[in-house]
Structure 1
């Protein structure tokens, strides 16, 4: 069988290369052949604006995201159209960013940069070595984070939706262990998927269980954290956030000036590591479809 695929740009098309039985159409050119398009590879975006033109393609069978997160996307799809996310594509880059945010916050790099030429020593800053780190949300990205933190000699534990054995952290704990684990941590890295159940999973009650000076790192989605609760605890706790709620974070928002809060503008995944990985995933998906096989990373409500 032959399939027609809409891609967002020529760079991705070049990275994917030729695939037997597949014709690639780029960007706006796909609209002139909208009735023939079988697969829609969405633009790289974290919101449903990536699907703004989706209703123009009546023959569509599959939407392939370039993001791992898919909150809000399923509700936007026409009936009968499958959705696949980019699980695995952003693991390395996101784990690197989580590690970078953690080191920057623990070692006071942000404070040093803001000294504007004043030499001020900061003795006694916490090292990641020997620190207790909890990864809250242990999927493929969580595991990639654990690998890197373990290499820094941190003591890593993990919580996920269900308990299980794991060759890297030993035991992945279920949610019932969260309350007993939180007070012991020096760092909590949040990388949960965003669902109705996980919205504001890190709220005032969650943060109140953390010991003074604990660092909370969010590389998942902004609404996983209750922003008002974060602002209320800033100073007692430290925060390093690649994602925020709202997002983009407006100029003058109190989170910008909150004490001991380090913010980056949702840049964890968009690195040089992305293109070869997303191209390999799309190539694999298209090869499966041509062969009449089910693509991977399908998500459902």
Structure 2
């Protein structure tokens, strides 16, 4: 068996020396007109972060790649790819590649809010000595909404703080509750960490009712997708119920300069930097190389996407 692999621009070097049966070629500049499009067995598309990436017409490309068997995403979330992958074509993510990066950022976000770091940044710029009372994470209750590998990593990082942990996932298992049990768990949590994939079920999950069930003054941490949160409802909750938030993702994204979320009280935003590190490609392509090797040998690649994630 031999296979033509089209990989995103500037990524072929990460796949050198992989397997002689894999012909690695970077996606041509005009892929829809390329005569070899019909031969492509594996596609590794670029990261589809925002509307600017629509120049890469993934839907048309996948529809015309008649020999396509396997799409390998370069991200842990596949909400911007899954809809375009034809039925019968394998889709895999790199879930797990960024667990430590994301968990570190989310832990930083929690401590940033609890220790009033935004306040101290402002007063340092003003050269003002202005103490403000801070909070302790120790002993708080943390609710994970979306208990996957990132949540498990963050849970380990929070163990020294002796927090109480509540867990929710799409389906109930062991000590992990189902989404149906969220209403009774939300009022117990001091910190709610959102790590769900973006699906029809989770779009707008954090709405006015969700936020009304959270404790006044509690903290929402979003490391999932911006569209999992109703932005207007969150802004209202920050003003009416003192809900605070650390957001690495927003809706819309990028967030326009005039958007009121920037000025919402108790909100700290980072611009989708969870995996934005110098070694992120090395982490990502470690998974990609392993999956391609498994696939070409007839095995079952990991992180297969089913039911949208």
- The reply to whether TM is greater than 0.5 is yes
Cα 1:267–1:153 shift into 2, 3 Å: same
Question: 2:96 and 2:84 mapped to 1: Cα distance?
Answer: 23
Contact 1:212–1:237 (CA under 8 A) maintained in structure 2: yes
Question: 1:28 and 1:111 mapped to 2: Cα distance?
Answer: 49
Quote how far apart the aligned CAs of 1:3 are: 1.4
Aligned to 1:36: 39
Quote how far apart the aligned CAs of 1:27 are: 3.5
Contact 1:6–1:41 (CA under 8 A) maintained in structure 2: yes
Quote how far apart the aligned CAs of 1:35 are: 3.1
2:27 counterpart of 1:22: no
Question: 2:93 and 2:200 mapped to 1: Cα distance?
Answer: 18
**SS of structure 1 residue aligned to 2:110:** helix
Question: 1:281 and 1:17 mapped to 2: Cα distance?
Answer: 14
Question: 2:135 and 2:165 mapped to 1: Cα distance?
Answer: 16
Aligned to 2:66: 58
Question: 2:225 and 2:232 mapped to 1: Cα distance?
Answer: 16
Residue segments in structure 2 that go unaligned for 5+ positions in a row: none
**SS of structure 2 residue aligned to 1:133:** strand
Question: 1:17 and 1:279 mapped to 2: Cα distance?
Answer: 11
Q: Deviations over 1:261-290 (max 9, x none)?
A: 111111112323422221111111211222
Moved more, 280-289 or 247-256: 280-289
Aligned to 1:213: 217
Aligned to 2:243: 237
Question: 2:67 and 2:170 mapped to 1: Cα distance?
Answer: 36
Q: CA RMSD in A?
A: 2.1
Aligned to 1:295: 301
Residue segments in structure 1 that go unaligned for 5+ positions in a row: 166-170
Question: 1:215 and 1:47 mapped to 2: Cα distance?
Answer: 27
2:155 counterpart of 1:146: yes
Question: 2:250 and 2:40 mapped to 1: Cα distance?
Answer: 35
Within 5 Å, which residues of 2 pair with 1:120-199?
Answer: 120-123=130-133, 125-165=134-174, 171-199=175-203
**SS of structure 1 residue aligned to 2:28:** helix
Q: Deviations over 1:203-252 (max 9, x none)?
A: 11111112221010100011111111101011411011111111111110
Structure-2-length-normalised TM-score: 0.88
Moved more, 222-231 or 75-84: 75-84
Contact 2:194–2:220 (CA under 8 A) maintained in structure 1: yes
Contact 1:93–1:273 (CA under 8 A) maintained in structure 2: no
Quote how far apart the aligned CAs of 1:30 are: 8.7
